[in-house]
Chains A and B, each alone.
Chain A
Amino acid sequence: MCHGISGNCRTGIPGLELIIKVKGEIKKNVATTLVETATPVQYQAGMMKRQRTVFLLAGAVLLVCMAMNVLVGSIDIGFKEIMDILINHDTASTKGFIVWKIRLPRAIAAALGGGCLAVAGLLLQVYFRNPIVGPFILGISSGATLMVSIVMLTSVTIGMTLVNPFMCTLAAFVGAYGTMLIVLLIANRVKNGVTLLIVGLMMGYLCHSVTSVLVAFAEKEKIKGFVLWQLGSFSGFKWSEIEILCIVGGLILVLVYFLAKPLNAFLLGEDYAASMGVNIRLFRMLILVSACALAGMITSMAGPVAFVGLAVPHMVRLLFATSDNRVLIPGAVLVGAMVISLCDFIARMVFNPVELPISAITAFFGAPIVISLLLKRRTKI
């Protein structure tokens, strides 16, 4: 703890420092001494103040990003025109079609997808108490990829020269949730988190090995399509898919919010959690089911979008300066949505009209951000 030197003194709770200043007790050292003697109520109020500010900021940035995703695109449509199209629900004209059937669904899907993936990653990072765990650690994406590779690379697409996107979604869905069921069955028998983690990794390798055999025998043209699918994309979302995303994803997110308290207990490991009154078997299942269901849903619709689920939980933790999942869960939804919206915008616009895969952008911009946040805060995560 730093004593004395007011210049270098950072409490790490800006809200609290703010309170102190408002009270008009600004002297040297006051900030530190008061923090040390702050009552729990003051302390909690300080934390909440900071968190509220971050929530508002993240929400505002998210709205701006989503608006940009609707307003800007490879075809120029004026702001006024777009507002007309939106207000009049004009889907008939070409521009109306672009806004209503392409840009708007895509913007919403990207935001929802980002939120879901971030929460899935957060859940698994907390459960496994491992910072390098992401939503796909249990083999969800590998299972989806395997099924998609079967559809895209073999001749299952009998008679069809172009791969039907719906077939892809269906295959990914089957693959993701098939893997999830297997993992959950194993989780029911394995008591140790690390064992489960390794089982998940091995599942991933198994699926990958089969996929790579399929790739070896596949035709050249098909491989490019498959590789691009693997990198994920939020294009081509239909309103029906968005409805599913909203309802199912929304329900799971609400459930996850109810898990926040036991999740906090899981921060200390299963033994401590049990000793504090957590029903380990029940909540372990709920955590795994929610995480896998969220990740599986997004993967089946948008492909395995890399990095977001791994990095956003870190960003959220550092932004909100807490490990409290009651804050982190809504935080991850917002920041995840914000990050993906921004990345999707960049993916569409940088080499316009060529569209980059979303995973390329998420990792390219996200990784340095996480590293710099970590270095700046000197916090172990």
Chain B
Amino acid sequence: MNQALAVLSAKDLCVGYGEKAVLENVRLEFVKGEFISLLGPNGAGKTTLLRTLSRHLAPLGGEVLLGGADLGKIVQQDLAKTMSVVLTEKVVPPLLRVFDFVAMGRYPHTGWRGRLTEKDDQVVMEAVAMVQAEALLYRDLDTLSDGERQKVDVARALAQQPEIILLDEPTMHLDLKHRMELMSILRRLCREKGICVVASLHDVEIAAKISDKVALVKDGEIRAFGPPEDVLLDDTVADLYDFRNVRFSRVLGTIEMENWVDRGRVFVVGGMGSSSVLYRLLSKKGYGIVTGVLHRNDIDLHVARSLGAACLVEAHLDGISQENMEKARVEMKDCDCVIDTGFELETINAGNLDLLKDAVSMGKPVLSMRNGSGRELYTPGEYGAIKFSTSESNLVEMVKCLSLPI
């Protein structure tokens, strides 16, 4: 990495309170225009690290460099022109309007009386526009909702015209709308203003999608630091948060609750993206899932795997092999029912239809979400034996009614 570009860097930094070190050997480098997420469980030291980087805490060892200069030696006012913060502490002074609150960010730029010049007004208005809070401009600070407040906080930090903004858990207490809005605002700060944004986040899914780099904080050290694509692997994430029944999927970029079987086992014949919703629903309701035969490139396969389902996989993009067909039949025998997800039928997955027909002849209860002319694929005899359903939830209700052994 180019040394000259680093806005803020930590060299062998040791952070903590008093004698007690919380994190050791911290080596980080934040570059202009980057979005950096600090991830890690509660109490791992994310806030302590941020407070040290913002000079609210003195480092216990090592050093923090801001634009190449030792952070500890920078004049307070110059520091404020380079770095601003958004803290978790939400102070609501009475009788303070949003405009005046954001204008407080001009502190390091104004004279002894803090009089706002035309340029200051302009910067404040730009900051407010950047966070799309124009409508709030003359509202009293104590009438804002959490989401609005957070945006205004960012605007205040922005009014300092910093090169780097540190945010401590900016999405805490925010609903989904405001959370996504805030994240996109922060990303725009990086892209459009070239500001380096460092935020401690709880949401791995969002962090993976938005960050240029993530730092994983756990057990007194930075476990990993780099692009989320390299760092946020299925196992690393599980390990970071000590996941038990939850899995992170790097491919899907989502977290799934692992299948917790306390009901029957069902065999899902699906594929072509037709079964992901059903997998999640079955998994949520506590059914064990066996599924197949899926092709290697199927989205359903990634979802099924992240849920911990047993998958029969066809390695080649070709018709289903006899070997897999045989395996599927064996699995089917152990299952309490077989479900047809109504997948689109192509030549390469034609074998799956045969599996369903086999299931009927085996005497297994078969449920199907196939509708319309698709149902004509079954013979009249098979049609009579199969129970049809139009939605996943309805189907699962029907599975429940089969009174499977619990």
Contact = CB atoms under 8 A, between A and B. Distances in A.
Interface in B9-64: 54-56
Contacts of B241: none
Contacts of A321: 95
Nearest to A276: B107
A324 B107 contact: no
B170 to A, nearest CB: 15
B100 A277 contact: no
Contacts, number: 106
Interface residues of A, number: 40
B312 interface: no
A261 B107 contact: yes
Given A260-B114, A275-B85, A277-B80, A317 B94 contact: yes
Given A36-B138, A268-B91, A277 B107 contact: yes
A317 B95 contact: yes
Chain A contact surface mostly: loop
A215 B117 CA distance: 59
Nearest to A44: B116
Given A260-B113, A278-B107, A323-B95, A35 B85 contact: no
A323 B85 contact: no
Nearest to B110: A261
Interface in A323-381: 323-324, 326, 379-381
A73 B125 CA distance: 56
A277 B94 contact: no
Contacts of B54: 275
Contacts of B178: none
Given A36-B137, A275-B84, A129 B91 contact: yes
B94 A271 contact: no
A235 interface: no
Contact of B76 (A129, A258, A260, A278): A278
B212 interface: no
Interface in B125-160: 125, 135, 137-140, 142-143, 160
B81 A379 contact: no
B139 A1 contact: yes
A41 B121 contact: yes
B104 interface: yes
A316 to B, nearest CB: 11
A161 B274 CA distance: 103
Given A36-B138, A40-B121, A276 B105 contact: yes
B96 A267 contact: yes
A274 B100 contact: no
B83 to A, nearest CB: 7
Interface of A: 1, 11-13, 35-36, 38-41, 43-44, 129, 131, 258, 260-261, 264-265, 267-269, 271-272, 274-279, 317-318, 321-324, 326, 379-381
13 contacts: A261-B110, A261-B113, A267-B96, A272-B85, A272-B89, A272-B91, A275-B84, A276-B104, A276-B105, A277-B76, A277-B79, A317-B95, A379-B140
Q: Which 4 A-B pairs have the closest CB atoms?
A: A277-B80, A277-B108, A261-B114, A40-B121
Given A40-B124, A278-B76, 20 more contacts: A36-B138, A40-B99, A43-B99, A129-B91, A261-B107, A261-B114, A267-B96, A268-B104, A271-B85, A275-B56, A276-B104, A276-B160, A277-B76, A277-B107, A317-B95, A318-B95, A322-B96, A322-B100, A379-B140, A380-B142
